[in-house]
Amino acid sequence: GAVVSQHPSRVICKSGTSVKIECRSLDFQATTMFWYRQFPKQSLMLMATSNEGSKATYEQGVEKDKFLINHASLTLSTLTVTSAHPEDSSFYICSALEEGFSNQPQHFGDGTRLSIL
Protein backbone atom coordinates (compact mmCIF):
# COMPACT_ATOMS: atom_id res chain seq x y z
CA GLY A 1 0.00 0.00 0.00
CA ALA A 2 0.91 3.64 -0.38
CA VAL A 3 3.25 4.85 2.34
CA VAL A 4 3.96 8.38 3.52
CA SER A 5 7.04 8.86 5.66
CA GLN A 6 7.25 11.84 7.97
CA HIS A 7 10.51 12.82 9.62
CA PRO A 8 11.41 13.49 12.35
CA SER A 9 8.79 11.78 14.49
CA ARG A 10 9.70 13.90 17.47
CA VAL A 11 11.77 17.01 17.97
CA ILE A 12 12.57 19.07 21.03
CA CYS A 13 14.35 22.36 20.58
CA LYS A 14 14.94 25.75 22.12
CA SER A 15 12.82 28.79 21.49
CA GLY A 16 14.01 30.76 18.48
CA THR A 17 15.16 27.70 16.54
CA SER A 18 13.84 26.88 13.07
CA VAL A 19 12.65 23.33 12.59
CA LYS A 20 12.16 21.49 9.31
CA ILE A 21 9.72 18.58 8.97
CA GLU A 22 9.79 16.34 5.92
CA CYS A 23 6.87 14.55 4.34
CA ARG A 24 7.86 11.99 1.75
CA SER A 25 5.74 9.67 -0.40
CA LEU A 26 7.78 6.48 -0.60
CA ASP A 27 6.13 4.50 -3.36
CA PHE A 28 3.99 6.95 -5.27
CA GLN A 29 4.06 10.43 -6.74
CA ALA A 30 2.10 13.10 -4.94
CA THR A 31 1.24 16.31 -6.75
CA THR A 32 -0.66 17.54 -3.72
CA MET A 33 0.21 17.26 -0.05
CA PHE A 34 -1.49 18.72 2.99
CA TRP A 35 -0.23 19.88 6.35
CA TYR A 36 -2.40 19.60 9.47
CA ARG A 37 -1.85 20.67 13.04
CA GLN A 38 -3.30 18.92 16.07
CA PHE A 39 -3.27 20.14 19.67
CA PRO A 40 -3.51 17.52 22.45
CA LYS A 41 -6.89 15.79 22.53
CA GLN A 42 -8.20 18.11 19.87
CA SER A 43 -9.08 17.90 16.22
CA LEU A 44 -6.85 18.25 13.18
CA MET A 45 -6.79 21.66 11.56
CA LEU A 46 -5.71 22.09 7.96
CA MET A 47 -2.82 24.54 7.74
CA ALA A 48 -1.97 24.55 4.06
CA THR A 49 -2.13 22.77 0.74
CA SER A 50 1.18 22.07 -0.92
CA ASN A 51 1.35 21.65 -4.68
CA GLU A 52 4.45 20.44 -6.48
CA GLY A 53 6.24 23.26 -8.24
CA SER A 54 4.02 26.07 -6.99
CA LYS A 55 3.44 28.14 -3.91
CA ALA A 56 1.51 26.62 -1.06
CA THR A 57 -2.03 27.74 -0.31
CA TYR A 58 -2.49 28.65 3.34
CA GLU A 59 -5.70 28.49 5.33
CA GLN A 60 -7.04 31.61 6.94
CA GLY A 61 -5.19 32.51 10.10
CA VAL A 62 -2.03 30.54 9.30
CA GLU A 63 1.09 32.70 9.14
CA LYS A 64 2.91 32.13 5.87
CA ASP A 65 6.17 33.55 7.19
CA LYS A 66 6.03 31.36 10.28
CA PHE A 67 5.21 28.12 8.50
CA LEU A 68 7.22 27.85 5.29
CA ILE A 69 6.16 25.08 2.94
CA ASN A 70 8.16 23.81 0.01
CA HIS A 71 7.06 21.08 -2.41
CA ALA A 72 10.07 20.82 -4.70
CA SER A 73 9.47 17.33 -6.04
CA LEU A 74 6.63 14.89 -6.58
CA THR A 75 7.67 12.92 -3.53
CA LEU A 76 8.70 15.52 -0.97
CA SER A 77 7.09 18.42 0.84
CA THR A 78 8.72 20.21 3.76
CA LEU A 79 7.28 22.35 6.53
CA THR A 80 9.69 24.72 8.26
CA VAL A 81 8.59 26.31 11.51
CA THR A 82 10.68 29.47 11.64
CA SER A 83 11.84 31.02 14.89
CA ALA A 84 9.72 28.55 16.82
CA HIS A 85 8.21 29.53 20.17
CA PRO A 86 6.47 27.45 22.85
CA GLU A 87 3.06 28.23 21.35
CA ASP A 88 4.16 26.44 18.17
CA SER A 89 4.46 23.20 20.13
CA SER A 90 1.99 20.79 18.59
CA PHE A 91 1.56 17.60 16.59
CA TYR A 92 2.01 18.17 12.86
CA ILE A 93 0.69 15.64 10.33
CA CYS A 94 1.07 15.57 6.59
CA SER A 95 -0.97 13.73 4.01
CA ALA A 96 -0.57 13.09 0.29
CA LEU A 97 -2.82 12.50 -2.68
CA GLU A 98 -1.53 9.97 -5.17
CA GLU A 99 -1.11 11.37 -8.69
CA GLY A 100 -3.53 9.84 -11.16
CA PHE A 101 -5.87 8.61 -8.46
CA SER A 102 -8.13 11.59 -8.12
CA ASN A 103 -10.88 11.34 -5.57
CA GLN A 104 -9.19 8.50 -3.72
CA PRO A 105 -8.47 8.77 0.00
CA GLN A 106 -5.29 10.55 0.95
CA HIS A 107 -2.43 8.84 2.73
CA PHE A 108 -1.30 10.20 6.09
CA GLY A 109 2.16 10.31 7.58
CA ASP A 110 2.71 9.25 11.18
CA GLY A 111 3.09 12.81 12.41
CA THR A 112 5.76 14.89 14.12
CA ARG A 113 5.56 15.90 17.76
CA LEU A 114 7.19 19.31 18.11
CA SER A 115 8.10 20.60 21.55
CA ILE A 116 9.61 24.07 21.93
CA LEU A 117 11.26 24.79 25.26
- Residue 44 has a CB neighbour count (10 Å cut-off) of 16
Q: Are 99 and 31 in contact (CB under 8 A)?
A: yes
Closer residue to other proteins (CB): 37 or 116: 37
Query: Which of residues 73, 110, 115, 117 is near other proteins by CB under 8 A?
Result: 110
**SS3 letters across 18-79:** CEEEEEEECCCCCCEEEEEEECCCCCEEEEEEEECCCCCEECCCCCCCCEEEEEEECCEEEE
Q: If binding is defined by CB under 8 A, does position 26 make contact with other proteins?
A: no
Q: How far is the CB of 52 from other proteins (least distance, A)?
A: 13
Query: Which of residues 12, 26, 46, 72 is near other proteins by CB under 8 A?
Result: 46
2-21 positions binding other proteins, by CB under 8 A? none
Closer residue to other proteins (CB): 14 or 60: 60
Q: If binding is defined by CB under 8 A, does position 32 make contact with other proteins?
A: yes
